[in-house]
Amino acid sequence: NSPFTIHPADGLSPLLSTRYLSGENFLTWRCSILLALSIKNKAGFIDGSIPEPLLTDPTYFAWRRCNDLIIS
């Protein structure tokens, strides 16, 4: 499974966690978000293990589309 694959269930604004971030729950919120991203094979966009390719790389636009989905 390529991390660049976007499944229709990923949607434009997927609900990754029902926990709202507050100053008191950062660690549990972070764990929930990373777990949800890992399940979707997208955690590498957050932890840096899927780095941004060069603009000339054929995978650049697929990477950018996935990255935009993650940060939206």
Q: Mind listing the pLDDT tens digit for each residue in 25-62? A: 999 888 888 888 888 899 999 999 999 999 999 999 99
pLDDT higher than 70, residue 15: no
Q: How many helices (H) and strands (E) does the chain have?
A: 3, 0
Predicted TM-score (pTM) of this structure: 0.76
Residue 28: enclosing H or E segment and its boundaries?
A: helix 26-39
